[in-house]
């Protein structure tokens, strides 16, 4: 896969106002070969951002550059940015073949060139058997592939996808994720709008989070999900042990601080001075469950009672009440060996370094 540090798409201070949506001061660089997931709740303005990039909505201010050239006010049809709408917008009166060939005619390809390109694209998204069908007869997954092939036919420099997996069942989602990865591996720079953090985490090489029309954080999925910059990002990225707290004491020589949750649960963490309140976050995989307090390097030891135990993915999740409810991940084997059933008293152990503090 072609990948370098040259931004193919640069967005500078972009503000867009469209009906009920407003985006303010969005700045973002997308590098060649990036797969950027644009995350945000519904109504955050993600689709409007895509339409602004595609030139379908005019920005109130700011600049968009493609390969270093400004395209902010360029015509939609000559921008080189392809958009697959959430509703796909396949042309209902044209066959699948003609839908895919539609952009090729704009490029002035001969019918022979057009034919081989349509077949190539159909092969790439595995829809060769559907070419004579009409959009009205396709399933959701099939239609999504046709829409992808059609937009790829326009050979965009950047491929924008608006919630491409939202209307599909689990099996089809898995299949389509494979298709999207394949397209990405072929070297396409992609921006994928979603409200689903798992979708972003499993596909993207970069993540940008939009909240109330503003870009609140962007970086690699690892950076964003492990170091969320605010409560919204943390909650959005599925982090469960996130608690508001007061900071009561400082031990500045070690950088160790004490945070009090709900006025009675004390958590020690490593962080900077100068905060009086904020949020602490403890990744569930960093919490060790034991039946007795254990001697270890873990600074935080809390006693609690298991309230719930349920299957989660390949393991189990426990909800342990220890003044506040902690969610902890354990393997099924540990769950069986330690008989981690509701009502059982356990100890939660985690290092001060595992606790992340966020300023409120």
Partner 1 sequence: MLNNWKVSLVFLFVSGLVLLFIVAPLAGMFLQTTGAQYAATVSDEEVMRSIRLTLVSSLVGVIIFGILAIPLAYVLARRKFPGKGLVNGLVDLPVVIPHSAAGIALLGVISRNTWIGQAGEAAGIPFVGGMAGIVVAMAFVSIPYLINAARDGFEAVPEKLEKAALNLGASPWRVFFTISLPLAKRHVLTGLTMMWARGLSEFGAVVIIAYHPMVTPVLIWERFASFGLAYARPAAAVFVIICLVVFVLMRLLSGKPPASRHTEG
Residues that bind partner 1 (CB under 8 A): 51, 54-56, 76-78, 81-83, 85, 87, 89, 91-93, 102-103, 106-107, 150-151, 153-154
Cβ-based neighbour number of residue 277 at 10 Å: 12
Give min distance, CB of 95 to partner 1, in A: 13
Looking at the Cβ atoms of 94 and 260, the one nearer to partner 1 is 94
Looking at the Cβ atoms of 45 and 135, the one nearer to partner 1 is 135
Looking at the Cβ atoms of 56 and 338, the one nearer to partner 1 is 56
**Rounded distance between C-alpha atoms, residue 180 and residue 141, angstroms:** 12
Count CA within 13 A, CB hemisphere, residue 283.
13
Looking at the Cβ atoms of 105 and 307, the one nearer to partner 1 is 105
Looking at the Cβ atoms of 6 and 91, the one nearer to partner 1 is 91
Residue 153, phi then psi, degrees to nearest 5: -60, -25
Sheet containing 356-359: give its strands across.
Answer: 265-270, 256-261, 242-251, 277-281, 356-359
Give min distance, CB of 138 to partner 1, in A: 16
Q: Which residue has the tokens 């994720």?
A: 177
Strand, coil or helix: what is 345? strand
Looking at the Cβ atoms of 104 and 216, the one nearer to partner 1 is 104
Nearest to 312 by CA among 324, 298, 328: 328
Looking at the Cβ atoms of 106 and 312, the one nearer to partner 1 is 106
Maximum alpha-carbon separation in the chain: 76
Q: How big is the chain, counted in residues?
A: 360
Give min distance, CB of 164 to partner 1, in A: 14
Distance from chain centroid for Cα 343:
36
**Rounded distance between C-alpha atoms, residue 319 and residue 347, angstroms:** 12
Give min distance, CB of 162 to partner 1, in A: 11
Give min distance, CB of 103 to partner 1, in A: 4
- Which residue(s) pair with 246 in the sheet? 260, 277
Give min distance, CB of 129 to partner 1, in A: 23
Q: Which residue has the tokens 């990948």?
A: 3
- Which residue(s) pair with 96 in the sheet? none
Query: Contact at 8 Å (CB) between 231 and 360?
Result: yes
Give min distance, CB of 139 to partner 1, in A: 20
Looking at the Cβ atoms of 70 and 87, the one nearer to partner 1 is 87
Burial class of residue 4, CB neighbours in 10 A (0-12, 13-18, 19+): exposed
List all residues 6 or more positions away from 106 whose beta carbon is below 8 Å from its beta carbon: 77, 154
Looking at the Cβ atoms of 154 and 202, the one nearer to partner 1 is 154
Give min distance, CB of 79 to partner 1, in A: 8
Give min distance, CB of 151 to partner 1, in A: 7
Nearest to 223 by CA among 211, 207, 209, 238: 207
Residue 89, phi then psi, degrees to nearest 5: 50, 45
């Amino acid at each position: 896969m072609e990948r370098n540090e040259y931004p193919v798409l640069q967005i500078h201070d972009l503000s867009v106002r469209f009906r009920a949506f407003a985006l303010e001061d969005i700045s973002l660089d997308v590098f060649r070969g990036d797969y950027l997931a644009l995350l945000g709740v519904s109504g955050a303005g993600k689709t409007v951002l895509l339409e602004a990039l595609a030139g379908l909505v005019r920005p109130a201010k700011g600049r968009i550059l493609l390969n270093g050239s400004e395209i902010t006010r360029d015509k939609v049809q000559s921008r080189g940015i392809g958009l697959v709408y959430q509703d796909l917008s396949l042309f209902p009166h044209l066959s699948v073949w003609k839908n895919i060939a539609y952009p090729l005619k704009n490029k002035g390809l001969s019918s022979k060139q057009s034919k081989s390109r349509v077949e190539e694209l159909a092969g790439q998204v595995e829809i060769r058997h559907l070419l004579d069908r009409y959009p009205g007869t396709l399933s959701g997954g099939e239609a999504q592939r046709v829409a992808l092939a059609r937009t790829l036919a326009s050979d965009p420099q950047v491929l924008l996808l608006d919630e491409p997996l939202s209307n599909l069942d689990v099996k089809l989602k898995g299949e389509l994720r494979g298709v999207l990865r394949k397209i990405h591996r072929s070297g396409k720079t992609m921006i994928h709008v979603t409200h689903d953090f798992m979708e972003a985490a499993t596909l993207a090489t970069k993540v940008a989070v939009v909240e109330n029309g503003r870009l609140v954080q962007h970086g690699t999925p690892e950076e964003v999900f492990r170091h969320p910059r605010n409560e919204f990002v943390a909650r959005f990225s599925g982090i469960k042990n996130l608690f508001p707290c007061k900071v009561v004491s400082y031990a500045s020589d070690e950088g160790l601080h004490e945070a009090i949750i709900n006025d009675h649960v004390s958590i020690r963490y490593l962080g900077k001075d100068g905060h009086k309140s904020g949020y602490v976050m403890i990744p569930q995989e960093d919490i060790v469950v034991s039946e007795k307090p254990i001697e270890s390097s873990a600074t935080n030891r809390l006693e609690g009672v298991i309230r719930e135990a349920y299957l989660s993915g390949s393991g189990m999740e426990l909800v342990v009440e220890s003044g506040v409810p902690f969610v902890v991940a354990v393997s099924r084997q540990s769950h069986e060996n330690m008989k981690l059933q509701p009502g059982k008293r356990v100890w939660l152990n985690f290092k001060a370094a595992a606790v992340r503090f966020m300023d409120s």
